[in-house]
Structure formats: structure tokens, C-alpha cells
Amino acid sequence: MKFSNPILLAIPIFAFVFFSHTALAVLPEVTITFDRQTVSVGEEVHLKIRVESAGSAAQRPRLPSVESFTAYYTGHSSQSREENGKTISVSEFNFALVPNAVGKFTFPPVEIEVEGQVYRTSSVQFEILGKPGMAGTSGASVPSQGTTVLAGNVPSSAQPPGFYQIPKTQPQGFVPLGADPNIFLKAWVDKTVAYPNEPIVLTYSLYTRQDTQYEGFSEEPVITGFWIEQFPSPEKLDKNVVQISGKRYVRADVRKMVLFPQGSGEYNIQPGTVKVSVEERSHYENFMDEFFDDSFFSSRIYSRKIPKVLATQPISITVKPFPEKDKPAGFNGASGHFTFTGTVDRRTVKQNEPVTLTLTTEGEGNIETLERPPLPALANVEVYDSDVSSQLLERKDTVMGRKTFQVMLMPEVPGDLEIPPVEFSFFDPRAEKYTTLRTEAFHIRVQPGEGELSLPLKSREELEKRKGIEVEARDIFFIKDRLKLALLERVNTFRLFLLIGNGIATLLALIIFLYLKRQEELETNIALKRRIHAPRAVRRGLRQMGKLMKDSSREAQQKFCEIAQKTLNGYVSAQMNVSAHSLTVPMVEEALKERGESAETIERLKTFYDLCNQVRFTGTEIDHGKKEEILDTVEIVSKSMAKKK
Amino acid sequence: MKRIIIILMFLCALSGYAGAQENDLFASANKEYKEGRYQEAVRLYEQLIETGHSYASVHYNLGNAYAKTSDFGKAILNFERARRLNPRDSEILSNLNYVNSLLEHQVEDKRPAIIVGLNEILSNTSKTESSLLVLIFYGMWVVTYAFYLLLKRPPWMKRTVVILFFIFMVFTVVLILKISIAREEDAFVVAKTAEVKYGPSDQDKTAFKLTAGMPVFINDERDSWARIELRDGTGGWISRKLIERVFH
């Protein structure tokens, strides 16, 4: 971070005008101004040299070396304007003179070269006083903040408390107390006495009179016993000009944080150290230095930066305990200034279903350490902490925020549930008294629920506390002792049997399927069914006839002929798909003729019917030869019809 | 009497216990292992496998013995054999994962995510198991269906027939997926290092090198060379003596 050099706003009290070139009656014009002639030791006198010329800009003047003063070059500005067709350049060179001895001194003339001519001022008389503050100052003093008030003559050897501390081991470029009056660091707090959790603002301010670059903390502060909320570092440091003991400084707050004490007692803050780099321009040790310190080169090309480490003194803070008087029962250490509200997400709920109670605390104080206000005892209600969220708002010099606690209440019995007001107590350090805030009372209607089972709170906590097993090392497991096949490996041994079994089962299933399919078809085609079954009936009839062949009784002969007629009629009617009872001999003859049967067969059939009718209805007896003839006729006709169907 | 003997033999086989000679060999190998003579244990386990029986526990123990002798290629091969015979045994899986984690090189699986996912799911069952389950449920379905037909299609049996057919189809799909899409590596590198070449000869240029224990798919075989592919899609030709098939 760059600081521009402060421009000295000197009040002109003394001026010389020199004219050494008669041809330039007006230009060049050189004006030298001191802001005072009476000054104390350590205070500054500001010197401004203004050169107005028609030609090129003036070279930076050399100040004469004076033992009683230390001189610093504090800045240069230049501008140009058009006047009567000519370009007029105006250059101003600013210096600060710090007297270091009491008495009356004469500051010797200053020489300046303009357009090849050397101009010379007159000498000036100064009165140096011994005590600071006796000489008149035109700037305002630094406003007092807290206890580390910047007062008195900071760069002098008499240091006020709370300013510099020289570390035991000094880093390279370390600036000890009073060693460099042009730059110093100050760490200060807005209060040194506080209550626990009361915000204390700790600020690091850098004061400089030189072109300075802040490079951060080389040693971080050591702060114990506090909750720390650090303000974010701004992209560009705010800076302002302050006057301390007659000297102008640019001040920048390089770090700011809020400390919340966590308990009563005495605390000591070690502030750490800050690293900066400063552009050095104040010495002209030789010709080359002066050459490179010229305003042209001072445009950052050849400037010389010197690193410095700045320290400041430790800070003591006293934290008082909370007063015991009027301390509320539910007070749990909140300190600050807060508002408190509470809401429920529903007013009607089923048994064992959750109601969310939201408690919100908002205000100024340590939001992060706020604890959930205690809830009043609720019978037959399971209470679970659901969620906690906080939002921090960092304002200029304090920390504000909002913290929300969500609590799930699970009523276990139906009926009316009354949640009494929830109380939140805090200590207000400004008023130095306790305040208790309350939510409204909540009335919840609990309806009978599904009776869901929920794990008791205690069991849940126990489950949450249980840790998993931690594997300490990895290796292979030990060998197996039993030479045993897995179940499916064993079954695999019989894979072949399984395959054969499946094949047989498939075949059987297929046969059954086809058989039943055929049966279904036959059920719908009676003619086909009769045709298929007819041969079987013929075979059965022939078997019965064969048995009756040997029996020569009248009844047996009649039975024989009856079976023969029935068998043949059955077969023929099945082939013709007509009823056996409606079958006549001419129909049979016709059917046989259609099938191309020989006349002999037809004649044989006629004889068969005549013979059978005679035996059955007239009681005519037949011999074995006739029986065989009847049997053969049945067989021949059925075979003949089977072939020619 | 003959029937009783056959039934007893059947039950004995189903019980899964091996014969006395195999048990003795297995016990001897285990004894060598327990006493720290891993090389001898390896020899005896290999001898037991040569008898033709493929026990998951023998491959597992052999894998352990190889792991103890730092032959991670053979160790992984045998753990993989054990896994494929008994895919849900936690100790087999643990040892396989552990030895895999000791390998210096791993091949990134660049196959499509669906195939990797399928492989992951189907790795819980072996090909043998899948085919057996297909056979078992097919047999059950056929028999049930036959009875269903014989009993004139009673409605109470219809659901059983449908469920059995569905299960049979599920295992059939699993088996098809396992054989076709979710294919597992056919072989593992057993040599310490193996050069994969652009062609099936020593004169071909080396494409890349593999180390012991790395799995490969075998896509083709020609004389003493095998055309392999890795999970990341790279491939080439490798000498067959440098790799060993999981199952022949």
C-alpha cells in the first residue's frame, strides 16, 4: 500500500523575491516560504520553494547543511499554464526542518538554479524553544481514543506509555523507540476494562511522514483468553492526515479486530510487529546520491526502499466478572445488546410428528458463542436440537449479527400442548445490568398420529457417540483349514445329471403338451375322434368274437352275431360319420361302392348281414365255418375301409 | 442294497467333502504353510490342483502362499480363481484387494460406465453359479409346467409357473450378460514384467510393459502368442508363457 507524501500546507510568513536578470523582469520568479519562525525542539518548520519560469522546470534546490536542524525533503509538485502565448512552469519543492537544539539560530541562504542562473535567498532567523507545545501550531491534535492516547511529543526521547516496545531480539531494519520520528506504529484498544464477552476493538494504526509501503505483520500478535473476530482487510487502506506535536503524519489503520474476553481476569496482549518499506530521500552523501535523488528519478525508477519493522507496546486489559446481583437463573454468559424472538412452524401437529421452534437472537455482541436459551420443561415431548446458524455483520467498530436455533419438538401424546415463553438473558455492559427477554407462549394442538416408533433420545445419543472400528494395519487373512466345496460347487458336480434330468423333464413336458393338445383337437372334431377310435373298437369286437367262437350254444351264437354286427356297424358308421342306429345295408353298400370296393366284398357283406339276422332273430344255428366267415368279413371290411378312406 | 450305496455316494458328494487322499494332501500343505515353508506349501497345493479338483479353498491358500513368497502375479491369479469359484467369500475378496493394492501399476477402467457397473454387480455371482441356477430353475419350471398341464391347468399353479419362469429368465439374462457384456479378464500376468508387442513375434516393437498381477482379456491366440486387451482399451500381443489363464 503506497502513501503519497503529505503536502505541507504552510502558512507563508516570510518571503524573498530575487531578480538577477533584467531581461526577465517578471520571470523567473522564486518564492521561499517558512510556516513559522518560533518553534520547539522536535517540532517541524515547513519550507516551501516555489519557482515560476517560462522555460523548463527548475532543478530541485539543495538545502545547506545546518547542525541545529535536520532537513527532510517531503515532496514536489509541478504544473504548467499558457500565458500570453508562453508556457509558464510552476514547481514547488517542500521540505521539513526539525530543530534539535534550544536557542536562536540562523538558517543560511538557499541556492536554486533556474534556466542556468543561480538564485539565492536571504538567511532567516529562528528561535528554538525547549519545551514542546510552547510554540504555536496550526494543525489539530490526534483525537483521543481509549487509553493509548497519542499525546505529547511522540518522536522525542520521552515516550508516553503504550507506544513502542523494543523486542529482545531486533530484526533487521527494526525501528527502536524514538529512533525514527517519521514513522511509528500504534496498537490501541477502545477500552481496557470490560466484562466477559464485551467487545473490545483493537486497532493497529501506522503513522508516517514518508512514502511508505505497508507489507503486513512480520510477527503476529499473541492474544490469549479472547474470542477474536477480525475485520476483513480493506483493498485500499483509509488514510488521513493528523498533526501530532506540530508535525503532520499520514495515519492508516492497518488492522482492526474485535476481542471478546472469555473470562474475568488480567490479560496482556502482545501486539506483534509490522513490516513496512520506506523510500529514503533525506541524505545527500555524495554526488551520485544527489543525482539519483533528483525529482526526475524520484518517479519511482531509482528510489531506494528501506525495510523497517515497527513494534508497539503490549496492552493490558482487565476483565471484570459479571455482577452477581440480579443475575437471572437462565443467564449463560451472553454479553452485549440483543433482541430475541421465537416462532413455531405449525400450530397443529400429529402425534410423534415434529414441530420446529425457531429462536432468533440478534444484536451487538459475541454472536458465535451464544448458547441456545434453556427450554422450559415439557412433559411427553421429545426435544431435538435441529440446526444452528449464525450470520455475522461487521460494522465500523463493532460486531453485530444474528444467531438462529432450531429445535424440534416431538409431542408423544395427543391433546393440547402449551409451550411456555422461552427466556433469554444477557448482560448489557453499557447499562451494567442484566436484561431478560421472552418469546410468547405457544399453543400446539396434537392430533392422534400413526403411532410411529421413534428411538429414545438417550439411545440416539449413545448411538451417535459410538465410534467405528479403526483399521490399524492391513495384511492377508490366514489360510482355510477345510477342504470343502461351496454349495453351488457341490451341485456343479451333478451338472450332468441335472442336464439329463432337465432333458427328460422337457421331453415329458413336451409329450404331455402334445397329448393334451391332441385331446383338445379331438374334443372339437367328433368325426375324427370316431375314426381314430373305430379300429380299437373293431379289435375289441374281434377279440370278443374270438372268445365266443368255441362256444356252440344258441345264446353264444346269437351273442357272436350281435357283436359282429355291432362291431362292423360301429366301424362303418364311424368312417361315414353317421349314427350306428341309422345305418342300413343299402347305405353300407353305397359307401363301399364309393370307396371302390369289389363286388365280391359287397356280396360278402350282404351275406354277413343275412346270416347274422337269421341267427339273432330266427334261432338258426351256424357251424364253426360260418362263424369264421363272419369274423373274416368284419376284419376284411374294416381293413378295406381303413385303407380306402 | 445297490440303491442304498448309490444314494450314499450321492449324499457324500453333495456334502462337499473331498476324498481322504485329497484331504491328506491339503492338510500337509497347510502344515507347511503354518510352519513358514511357503515354497513347499505352494508345491503341495499345486499338486492338489493337478488332481483335477478345483476347490476355492485350495486356490485361496495357494494365493496366500504365493503372496508370502512375494509372487504377487501368481497370488492374484489364485485369489481370482478362488473368487470365481466362491465369489462372496469375504476373506478371498479381502486378500485379493490387499494384494492388488500392493501392485505398482493399475490399469484405469475406461470401459463404459454401464459395463463397469454391470461387472460390479455381476461379480457377486460366478459363471458356474449362474449356469447352475439357470439349469435348476429351468428344470423346476418344466416339471411344474408339466404338472400344471396334467392337472388341467389349475389356477393356483399358474402363479408358481409364471414366477419360476421369470426367475429362470432372470438367471438366463444374467448368464448371457456375464458371458457377453460383463466379461471378466481371462488371464493374469505371472511374469515380473511382460512386454506387450505390436505383433505376435519378438521382432515386433514393444508397445508397453505390464507387471505381475495385471489382468488381461485374451481376444485371440496364435502359436505361443496371445492378443490381449486391457480395461483401458489398449492392447497388443504377449507371449503366452508370461500370462496364465484363470481357468483353462
A238 pLDDT above the threshold of 90: no
Give residue A9's pLDDT band: very low, low, confident or very high (50, 70, 90): very low
Output the pLDDT for position A297.
Answer: 38
pLDDT reported for residue A35: 79
Confidence of residue A275 (pLDDT cuts 50, 70, 90): confident
Amino acid at residue number A390 = S
Q: What's the whole-number mean pLDDT along residues A588-600?
A: 80
- Rounded Cα–Cα distance for residues A98 and A178 (Å): 14
| Phi-psi region at B15: left, alpha or beta (left = phi > 0; alpha = psi -120 to 50) | alpha
Q: Which whole number is the average pLDDT over A331-344?
A: 89
User: Using 50, 70 and 90 to split pLDDT, how confident is the model at A461?
Assistant: low
pLDDT of residue A20: 36
Residue A8 has pLDDT above 60, yes or no: no
Most confidently modeled range among A321-330, A467-476, B163-172: B163-172
Partner-chain contact B16 A486, CB within 8 Å: yes
Identify the residue among A484, A485, A497, A506 best suited for mutation to test binding to B, counting B beta carbons within 10 A and taking the highest. Answer: A485
Task: Give A121's pLDDT tier (boundaries 50, 70, 90).
Answer: confident
Mean pLDDT over B153-173 rounds to 93
pLDDT of residue A40: 80
Residue B160's pLDDT is 93
Percent of chain A scoring above 70 in pLDDT: 76
For residues A199 and B191, the model is more confident at B191
Angle at A397 between CA A391 and CA A399, to 5 degrees: 20
How many CB pairs below 8 A link A and B? Answer: 105
Please give the pLDDT value at position B65: 96
Q: What is the pLDDT of residues A519-534, one digit of tens each?
A: 888 888 888 888 888 8
Cell of A515: 397329448
pLDDT of B215 over the 90 cut: yes
Give strand pairing partners of A46. A96
Average pLDDT, chain A: 75
Query: B64–A478: do the CB atoms touch at under 8 Å?
Result: yes
pLDDT given at position B230: 93
More confident residue, B7 or A431: A431
Residue indicated by cell numbers 481370482: B80
Q: What is the DSSP letter of B221?
A: E
Residue B49: helix, strand or coil by DSSP? helix
Question: Shortest Cα distance from A470 to chain B (angstroms)?
Answer: 16
- CB–CB of B30 and A481 under 8 A? yes
Q: Is A512–B149 a contact, with Cβ atoms under 8 angstroms apart?
A: yes
Helices and strands, counts by H and E, chain B? 9, 7
Residue B7's pLDDT band (boundaries 50, 70, 90)?
A: low
The mean pLDDT of B54-66, rounded to a whole number, is 92
Higher-pLDDT residue of A489 and A122 is A122
Closest Cα of chain B to A518: distance in Å?
Answer: 13
Please check whether residue A138 is in contact with residue A50, taking contact to mean a CB–CB distance below 8 angstroms: no
Residue B136: its chain A contacts at CB < 8 A? 491, 498
pLDDT exceeds 70 at position A294: no
Residue A505: pLDDT band with limits 50, 70, 90 = very high
| Predicted pLDDT of residue B205 | 93
Q: Which of B58, B89, B142 lies at the smallest CB-CB distance from A483? A: B58
| Least confident segment among A227-241, A250-264, B154-168, B190-204 | A227-241
Distance in angstroms (rounded) separating the CA atoms of residues B130 and B174 = 7
- Asked if B130 has any chain A CB less than 8 Å from its own CB, the reply is no
Query: How confident is the model over A51-100, as pLDDT tens digits?
Result: 887 766 666 677 777 777 777 666 666 666 667 667 777 777 777 777 77
CB contact under 8 Å between A512 and B146, yes or no, is yes
Cell of A600: 365280391
Mean pLDDT in residue range A45-52: 80
Please name the helix (run of DSSP H) or strand (run of DSSP E) that holds residue A532, with its range, or none. Answer: helix A526-548
Picking from A604, A587, A607, the residue whose alpha carbon sits closest to that of residue A595 is A587
pLDDT at position A576: 80
A477 touches chain B (CB under 8 A): yes
Q: Which pLDDT band holds residue A235 (cuts at 50, 70, 90)?
A: low
Structure-model confidence comparison of residues A136 and A347, the more confident one: A347
* CA separation for the pair B26, B61 (Å, rounded): 10
Q: Is A495 on the interface with B (CB under 8 A)?
A: yes
pLDDT level of residue A223 (50, 70, 90 thresholds): confident
Question: With 50 as the cut, is the pLDDT of residue A612 above it?
Answer: yes
Query: Does the pLDDT at position A132 exceed 60?
Result: no
For residue B45, give Cα distances in angstroms to A440, B23, B36, B92.
Answer: 80, 11, 14, 16
B-chain residue closest to A473, CA distance: B98
A574-579's contacts with Cβ under 8 Å and 24+ in sequence apart are A574/A530, A574/A531, A574/A533, A574/A534, A574/A537, A575/A531, A575/A534, A575/A641, A575/A642, A575/A645, A577/A526, A577/A527, A577/A530, A577/A531
Please spell the DSSP secondary structure of A224-289, one letter per residue. -SEEEEEPPPPSS--EEEEEETTEEEEEEEEEEEEEEESSSEEEEEB--EEEEEEEE-S---SHHH
**Neighbouring residues of B82: CB distance < 8 A, sequence distance ≥ 6:** B56, B57, B59, B60, B63, B89, B92, B96
Tell me which residues of chain B, numbers 8 to 37, contact chain A at a CB-CB cutoff of 8 Å: 10, 13-18, 22-23, 26, 30, 33-34
Per-residue model confidence (pLDDT) at position A460: 58
**Chain B residue nearest residue A503, CA to CA:** B139
**Residue B14 distance to chain A (closest CA, Å):** 5
Provide the 10 A C-beta neighbour count for residue B43: 14
Give the pLDDT band of residue A151 (cuts 50, 70, 90): very low
Task: Indicate if the alpha-carbon torsion angle A607, A613, A615, A620 is positive or negative.
Answer: negative
Q: What percent of chain A has pLDDT over 90?
A: 6
- Reported in sequence order, the residue ranges of A284-422 that DSSP labels E, i.e. its strands, are 304-311, 315-319, 336-344, 348-350, 355-365, 381-394, 399-411, 415-419
Question: pTM to 2 decimals?
Answer: 0.41
Is A66 in contact with A105 (CB distance < 8 Å)? yes
Residue A172 has pLDDT above 50, yes or no: no
At residue B28, the pLDDT reads 94
Check: CB of residue A449 under 8 Å from CB of residue A352: yes
Give the lowest-confidence range in A59-63, A505-509, B171-175, B211-215. A59-63
CB proximity A508 to B under 8 Å: yes
Across the range A198-214, mean pLDDT stands at: 85
For residue B242, give the DSSP letter.
G
